[in-house]
Chain A
Amino acid sequence: MLPNNLGDVIMATPVLEGIKAKYPGCFCAYFVEDGFEAGIENNLYCDEIIKFPRKEIKRKLASGNEEEGIDFFKKVLRDIKNKNINIIINLFQHPYVSFIASLIKDKNIIGQYFLKEGNHAVLDAWSQYLYAVAFARQCNNLHAVDVYRRIAEVKDHGDGYTIQLKDEEKVNAQRYLNEKKCDPEKKIMLFQAGAALSSKRWPVEHFIKLGSMLISGGWQIVVTGSPSEKDCAMGIQQGIGQNCIVAAGETSFRQSMAICSLAAGCVTGDTAQMHASAGCKVPTYAIFGSTNPVETGPYGTGHYVFSAHCPNRPCFETECKTGICMRSVLPETIYACIANGDPGDSPRCDVYTTLVEKDGDYRLIALSRNAYAYFNPVDAYLTRLAFEKNIGSSNIPLSEFELSIRETREWLDDLDAMRKFLENYLKTRNNAAVKEFERLKTLMIRFKGIGAFWTALLNIRLNSVPLLDPNEGINKSLEACRETFHQISYAIGHYGL
Chain B
Amino acid sequence: MPQDSALSDHQNNFNEKLQHIINTMGKEPLSEDEIVLLACREIASSYSRDERDYK
Contacts and interface: CB of A to CB of B under 8 A. Distances in A.
Interface residues of B, number: 32
Contacts of A198: 54
Nearest to A94: B46
Most buried by A among B8, B28, B36, B52: B36
A99 B44 contact: no
Interface string A57-92: 110011011110110011001000000000000000
23 contacts: A5-B48, A5-B49, A55-B51, A61-B40, A64-B2, A64-B8, A65-B6, A66-B11, A66-B40, A70-B40, A73-B39, A77-B36, A94-B42, A103-B32, A103-B35, A103-B36, A116-B29, A118-B26, A196-B54, A198-B54, A318-B54, A467-B26, A468-B28
Contact of A69 (B6, B13, B32, B40): B40
B53 to A, nearest CB: 11
A35 B32 CA distance: 28
A58 B44 contact: yes
A292 B39 CA distance: 31
B48 A33 contact: yes
Interface string B1-40: 0100011101101100000000001111111100111111
Contacts of A318: 54
List the 7 closest A-B pairs by CB distance, nearest first.
Answer: A99-B39, A64-B7, A118-B25, A96-B42, A66-B14, A4-B48, A116-B29
A198 B50 CA distance: 14
Contacts of B35: 99, 102-103, 114, 116
Nearest to A52: B43
Given A96-B39, A117-B26, A62 B49 contact: no
B21 to A, nearest CB: 9
A197 B37 CA distance: 32
B42 A99 contact: yes
Contacts of B14: 66-67
A196 B54 CA distance: 7
B44 A95 contact: no
Contacts of B36: 70, 73-74, 77, 103
Nearest to A106: B32
Interface in A24-44: 33, 35-36
B54 A197 contact: yes
A58 B43 contact: yes
A186 interface: no
Interface residues of A, number: 38
A123 interface: no
B27 to A, nearest CB: 8
Contacts of B11: 64, 66
A435 interface: no
Q: Which of A69, A96, A468 has the most CB of B within 10 A?
A: A96
Contacts of B39: 73, 96, 99-100, 103
A132 B35 CA distance: 26
A61 B30 contact: no
B7 A114 contact: no
B46 A58 contact: yes
Interface string A272-309: 00000000000000000000000000000000000000
Contacts of B26: 117-119, 467-468
B29 A95 contact: no
A102 B38 CA distance: 12
A33 B50 CA distance: 12
A197 B39 CA distance: 28
Interface in A184-214: 196-198
Contact of B49 (A64, A96, A196, A468): A196
B46 A96 contact: yes
A410 to B, nearest CB: 33
A119 B39 CA distance: 12
A406 interface: no
Contacts of A196: 49, 52, 54
B43 A54 contact: yes
A102 B42 CA distance: 14
Contacts of A66: 10-11, 13-14, 40
Contact of B38 (A65, A69, A114): A114
B15 to A, nearest CB: 9
A116 B38 CA distance: 11
Nearest to B22: A118
A331 to B, nearest CB: 25
Contacts of B13: 66
Contacts of A114: 35, 38
Contacts of A100: 39
Nearest to A36: B48
A421 to B, nearest CB: 21
Interface string A95-110: 1100110110000000
A197 B28 CA distance: 43
A26 B25 CA distance: 38
